[in-house]
Amino acid sequence: MNQVSMKKILVVDDEPEICWIVKKVLMEAGFAVDLAFDGERGLEMVQRGDHNLVLLDLRLPGIDGLETLKRIKEQHTQLPVIILSAFDNIGAAVRAMKLGAYDYISKPLNVDEMMITLKNALQTTDLINEVDILRRQIEQRKNNLLWSCTAMDKLMEVVARIAHYDVTVLIQGESGTGKELIAQYIHEHSTRMTQPFVSIDCSALPETLVESELFGYERGAFTGANERKIGRFEMAQNGTLFLDEIGNLSPNIQVKLLRVLQERRLQRLGGKNEIDINVRLITATNTNLDDAIRNGFFREDLYHRLNEFVALLPPLREREDDSVMLARHFLTHFNHKFSKTIDDFSPEAVNIIKRYAWPGNVRELMHAVKRAVVLATDHIEPQHFPNEILEWQPRPKELAAMAPSPEAPVRPLKEICQEVSRKVERETIIRVLQDTRWNKVKTARLLKINYKTLFNKMKELGI
């Protein structure tokens, strides 16, 4: 079904012959058509809310065309109305335009003129609807960027300034801090806001797939390439491309990315022609790229291409009371999603939220609240949080708690060391699992242990 066949037109005219002629012409063009022979019936049909456009005659029995138009616009401001007017009634047609009519067509009708005016009205309405949808999406994403701390105030003030300038931005922050939300904010406050925002997680794909995902490939470029694939750069044409975890790119891909950034053109895999690109690049990393450069894992020339502006996103543990504010935001969200009515967090649950360091940052907090909403009935209590959150203690307090009091018997040093080691080991494994999105193969590789050892450790430590 094409776009035109999905549109529904209401014709309101007291001359049946004209109605049937217009209906025949519109149906042949692929429109669905309803007819009404007076203003009252036309208003009744408009109330259904399923018409895309109204063709309205000014001379109607009972309620005239101007009054009908006025009532339509009171209830359906975005519904385009095209006036049908005789040559001797142009003054009324002009008054109709002032009341909100899209345009008017003179009788006797010229079919070509009518179709051009009608299609222009529908295209204009579609564009307005698309802008409204985009505006709502922007507002929804803004609501996901919540903060109250001074550190975030300063960051967002600077981010808002640079959003308007077409510079590359490198967002640095721990995993789960919301780097992609910052990238979306920059895009939505830039001159490219109406163009695509495309993202890719460089850590989620093996090296063999990253190149084809970024640059695309031609049919027959390799075994299994049965058709042309458009890469993320081309998908983001005239818009913004967000490369998350840029530090995970292999040296080979880094070279190709640098070339694309320098020349502003690329070649698909297996392709011969170069394609000009116009893309704003935003990247993010949770690793220290300076260390990666010193260790030979990241190209210094590429780094300088990426960091025309650097945004440092603070971890949740440094954002004062943001954790409680965000937790209540997620509570509202998951109440709606799961059709629940959890009132709030108990005072004890609030204390836990404030006390915990949230090594997985906002992402970990969101998952913890989601789990709690599922388990809770009235209020969220401490028992609704995962054990690793309930058992966690800041290291200084943890060590102080293990120190023997004057009345308590002295514990063996070996026992204390084993307990501390076990807790540190558990926290480290959980942290790396969260950073890799619970990819056990990648976690084992980062921890430099084999998969079986990781599996046994997780089982032993209750992860």
pLDDT digits (tens, 9 = 90+) for 345-387: 999 999 999 889 898 899 999 999 999 999 999 999 999 999 8
Cross-strand bridge partners of residue 280: 240
Residue ranges of the domains in the chain? 4-131, 145-314, 319-386, 393-463
Residue 412 backbone class (left: φ over 0; alpha: ψ -120 to 50; beta: rest): beta
pLDDT in tens, 294-344: 888 999 999 999 999 999 999 998 886 789 989 998 999 899 999 999 989
DSSP, collapsed to helix, strand or coil, labels residue 231 as coil
What is 4-131's CATH number?
Answer: 3.40.50.2300
pLDDT in tens, 169-179: 999 999 888 89
Report yes or no: 455 and 440 within 8 Å, Cβ to Cβ.
Answer: yes
Fold assignment, 393-463 = Arc Repressor Mutant, subunit A (1.10.10)
Report yes or no: 329 and 315 within 8 Å, Cβ to Cβ.
Answer: no
Query: In this prediction, what percent of the chain has a pLDDT beyond 90?
Result: 44
Q: Which residues of the chain have pLDDT under 70?
A: 1-6, 87-88, 130-145, 320, 394-411, 413-416, 462
Evaluate whether 4-131 and 319-386 have a shared fold. Answer: no
Structure tokens at 254: 């880094």
CATH 3.40.50.300 is the classification of domain 145-314? yes
Res 145: pLDDT: 67
Residue type, 263: E
Question: Which residue carries 């109250």 as its tokens?
Answer: 148
Report yes or no: 248 and 297 within 8 Å, Cβ to Cβ.
Answer: no
What is the value of pTM for the model shown?
0.55
DSSP, collapsed to helix, strand or coil, labels residue 387 as helix
Res 88: pLDDT: 64
What is the rounded CA–CA span in Å between residue 229 and residue 22? 44
Structure tokens at 256: 């190709």
Output DSSP code: residue 283. E
Res 429: pLDDT: 85
Architecture of domain 319-386: Orthogonal Bundle (1.10)
Q: Please, what is the Cα angle at 223 between 221 and 226, to 5 degrees?
A: 70
